[in-house]
Structures are given as C-alpha cells and as structure tokens.
Amino acid sequence: MYSSLTQVIAEKRRELPTRRLALLATAIILCVALILNCTPPKENLSLPAEIGVWKRSEETPVDPATFPDALRRLNAIQAVRATYRGTDSSVQATVYKMPSPTSAFEAVQTYPRHAGEFYFQKGSSFVVLGLAELAMEARRPFLLEFQKATHPDGPEPRKD
C-alpha cells in the first residue's frame, strides 16, 4: 500500500506544474484580450460639411509621406484636406493633427509661407487655408466661420 500511495503522490506532483502552466497561459491570453479591447478606435479627422455659405465638395485624407518636411519633423500624426465651394470661388482647407498644441504652435512658426495661404493653430491642429481664389472681402468671413464650425481642438474626430 505504501508504494501505491507514493506512486499516486508522484503522479500528482507531475500533473501540478502542467496545470499551473495551463492556468498561467490562460491568464496571459485573457489579459492580452482585455488590453486589446481597451484600446480606443482610431480616429480619422473630418471637416464640417458646411462653413457658413461654403459647402464641402470633397474630403480626402492626406498621405503622411506627402507631409511637408516642416510638419514631418514635428511628427504630424495625420491630415485631411477638403475643398469648400461658394457661389464664385473655392477654398482648400488642410488640417494636420499634431502631437500637442506646442508642436502645432511651432508649425505656425516654421512652416514655409506661400502667397494666397493662411496658416494658424487650433488646439493641437495646424490649419492651412488656400485663400487665393477667395476675394479679399470674403476672406475674413470665411476664417470666422471656419473657426466657429470646427471642433475646439481641430476638426471633429470621426471614429471608424
């Protein structure tokens, strides 16, 4: 009887590490699944459909490979470009999502200037508006409407 009892105990000891290992593997899998489910969905930038009397005719994401060097250096995250059409003109708006308001401010300071474009920071976003086609008297109203229509920290994020 003693030998059979010893044999049973020895078998139980061999099974114990296998059970612990299986339990540990299950716990790790559950933790990884929980962490992956807790990550927020990727947000895509989106601009308003209307800016005052101007209507958005198209909107496209901007490929990060085509970001200007000044913005790549500042680690711009993503960008969206939209064209707004009025009665006799159009405006192209490009909004770059920056890592922080500080980097968006630095973008305003270092971005190369081009005639007919207007640049500004809005929260952690850097905004470039192509106003060349817009009459001088219509520029200020568009800028004011753009400020009112966009999210306080840049364009309203869109969850996909």
The mean pLDDT of the chain is 80
Q: What is the mean pLDDT of residues 77-101?
A: 91
CA distances from residue 24 to 17, 31, 44, 69 in whole angstroms, order as listed: 10, 11, 38, 48
Report how far Cα 15 is from the mean position of its chain's Cα atoms. 50
Residues 6+ apart with CB under 8 A from 31: none
DSSP secondary structure code for residue 74 in this structure: T
What CA–CA distance (Å, rounded) separates 3 from 148? Answer: 86
pLDDT tier, 41 (very low <50, low <70, confident <90, very high otherwise)? very low
User: What SS3 state is found at 85?
Assistant: strand
Convert the pLDDT of each residue in 3-19 to its tens digit.
676 666 566 566 556 66
Read off φ and ψ for residue 127, nearest 5 degrees: -115, 135
What is residue 101's predicted lDDT score, i.e. its pLDDT?
Answer: 93
What is residue 129's predicted lDDT score, i.e. its pLDDT?
Answer: 92
Tokens matching residue 43: 């947000």
Q: Which of 91, 79, 80, 88 is nearest to 50 (CA)?
A: 91
CA distances from residue 62 to 28, 45, 65, 81, 125 in whole angstroms, order as listed: 38, 10, 9, 7, 14
What is residue 136's predicted lDDT score, i.e. its pLDDT?
Answer: 87
What CA–CA distance (Å, rounded) separates 32 from 75? Answer: 29
As beta bridge partners, residue 44 has: 158
| Token pair 């909107």 in the structure block, residue | 59
* More confident of the two residues 14 and 41: 14
Is the pLDDT at 70 greater than 80, yes or no?
yes
* More confident of the two residues 113 and 2: 113
As beta bridge partners, residue 91 has: 84
Convert the pLDDT of each residue in 105-145 to its tens digit.
999 999 998 888 999 998 899 999 998 888 888 888 888 88
Which of 18-32, 38-52, 133-147 is the most confident on average? 133-147
CATH number of 44-159: 3.40.1000
